[in-house]
Chains A and B, each alone.
Chain A
Amino acid sequence: KAGVTQTPRYLIKTRGQQVTLSCSPISGHRSVSWYQQTPGQGLQFLFEYFSETQRNKGNFPGRFSGRQFSNSRSEMNVSTLELGDSALYLCASSNWGLGTEAFFGQGTRLTVV
């Protein structure tokens, strides 16, 4: 079956702009989690959505938000972009979230200039 699909793969944005990233999970999976990867901080958890509800949230400012649709596809949005938001954003798909095996997409590499 198809894996986790993230779009776009690459993005270049200017400081102050906003950006929306998309993640389509594996068919039948209801949990989508988002992670930010930077050289300095490593892989950090942003938030998790399950059945269209945000179930868990990491320690990121309110500029980072997300949502999940009825087909389990998820989007994350970053408003008022800062240079420090440049990162690889990865989404993970799993059956039930916490405690179940997670599968990752190819990631979206965001560069803020």
Chain B
Amino acid sequence: GIQVEQSPPDLILQEGANSTLRCNFSDSVNNLQWFHQNPWGQLINLFYIPSGTKQNGRLSATTVATERYSLLYISSSQTTDSGVYFCAVPSGNTPLVFGKGTRLSVIA
């Protein structure tokens, strides 16, 4: 099945800094989702982005399907951005295959 790799595994930022999270996948996909897992465990939808670029406030995402990667940009980070960020793609009969996530800590 498809392999989904996220980097970096851990990231510590000072409040106000910018960051880029990366998601590589081993096979072609027709959609990709980014999620933020909050401290209570819920996965919050950030982007549904099969290809191209989308922006939502301080967050934006770019997927280059032909090169099998997606990037999540967080600008002017805030402490509330802390948590784990996951990307996920469909594969075969599996609706979503998740990467291991990037754990982001934003320090005031």
Contact = CB atoms under 8 A, between A and B. Distances in A.
Contacts of B75: none
A106 B96 contact: no
B41 A33 contact: no
Report which residue of A48, A94, A98, A109 has the largest number of chain B beta carbons within 10 angstroms of its beta carbon.
Answer: A98
B42 A105 contact: yes
Interface in A24-40: 31, 33, 35, 37
How would you classify the secondary structure of chain A's contact residues: helix, strand, loop or mixed?
strand
Contacts of B97: 45
B100 interface: yes
A92 interface: yes
A92 B94 contact: no
Interface in B50-102: 86, 88, 90, 93-98, 100-101
Contacts of A103: 45
A56 B42 contact: no
A90 interface: yes
Given A103-B45, A106-B40, A98 B100 contact: no
Nearest to A88: B41
B95 A45 contact: yes
B94 A45 contact: yes
Contacts of B40: 106-107
A99 interface: yes
B41 A45 contact: no
A97 B44 CA distance: 18
B90 A106 contact: no
A35 B98 CA distance: 10
Contacts of B48: 101
B41 A109 contact: yes
Contact of B95 (A37, A42, A48, A90): A48
6 contacts: A37-B41, A43-B98, A45-B94, A48-B95, A101-B31, A104-B44
Interface of A: 31, 33, 35, 37, 42-43, 45, 48, 55-58, 88, 90, 92, 94, 97-107, 109
